[in-house]
Amino acid sequence: MSNYDDLFRHENEQPAPQSDQPFDKEAWAQKKQEQRETVYTMIDDTAGAVSQDGAKFQGYLDVQSRFDRYSVSNSLLILAQKPTATRIADFDTWKEQGAYIRKKESGFYILEPGEEYQRDDGTTGISYNPKKMFDIAQTGNSRKRETPSYPDERTRLKALMDHAPVPIRISETLPSGVNALYQPDTREIQVRRGMDASSIFRALSQELAHAEMDTGDGNYNRSEHGLHAYCASYMLCKQYGVETGGFYHFEGAPQMLSALEPQVIRAELSVIKEAAGEISSRMNRLLNQQRQQKRQEPER
């Protein structure tokens, strides 16, 4: 349970006007603003915690890999309040799906877009409002214990390579200990011959992340984006069921973020999310096409 819950009590209940005490719109707006500020503080605090602790940093990557369509800020909020969440929705959505929240379960909060507003400089902004959510594990939904299904190894690798931003070639000459390598000067990826499928996925996904981040202006610096690519590869492995144990280590990762302000930390995490997201979007397009084709095949 989050220690911020008390600040959101009755957040969805607008006070009924009283004959002797009419509804105070300004006071209500002030309360909502305070709630938003509390959530933003939670985001900043969690970003700071992620930058100081390797286990917490890895926990964030785990959450973001499960909620790859959610913003960095919302993933940080989930990490702070319900780090084991796997599938979330608000009360009404669960009810529509025939699942009901169990008694005594406490919700947690993410931000959803609200109304547009005019900033002082004349530009348009979007307000974000806290929204109470519940994880599937907090419901009576019988599907919550389903085991995730992943594509087979060959299909998974085919999806990873589909519409890659640069050519991918087998190499006999990679240095010892290097299983794949993106070369910015030639804009191609070389992959060591003879590896097993999981090793190829781990190595190739990391180099594809480098290729995604390279704008092609000739100034790409691998070392500056090493952590981004490493983390994107980890997230992709978690998403598609590739073994990560013993292959990824995050003890030193926070050292690269620890001196940064929360806003900058979120920006760095966004680079990771976007690199992984570009690759997973391509993968999902192919995987979805294959699923659709199988459904359309006549029974034999």
- Per-residue model confidence as pLDDT tens digits over 125-169: 888 889 999 999 999 875 656 677 899 999 999 999 999 999 999
- pLDDT value of residue 145: 60
CA-closest candidate to residue 273, choices 221, 241, 238: 238
Is 82 strand, coil or helix? coil
pLDDT, greater one: 127 or 217: 217
The average pLDDT across 56-64 equals 98
Question: Mean of the per-residue pLDDT values for the chain?
Answer: 90
Q: Is the Cβ–Cβ distance between 190 and 171 less than 8 Å?
A: yes
The tens digit of pLDDT for each residue in 235-246 reads 999 999 999 999
The tens digit of pLDDT for each residue in 78-92 reads 999 999 999 999 999
Q: Which long-range contacts (CB under 8 A, 24 or more apart) does 280-288 make?
A: 280/68, 280/236, 280/239, 282/159, 282/162, 282/163, 282/164, 283/156, 283/159, 283/160, 283/162, 283/240, 284/159, 285/162, 286/158, 286/159, 286/162, 287/151, 287/155, 287/159
- Whole-angstrom distance, CA of residue 43 vs CA of residue 41: 5
The tens digit of pLDDT for each residue in 246-265 reads 999 999 888 889 999 999 99
Split at pLDDT 50, 70, 90, the class of 202 is very high
Tell me the whole-structure pTM to 2 decimals. Answer: 0.87
Query: Tokens standing for 228?
Result: 């981004």
- pLDDT value of residue 26: 80
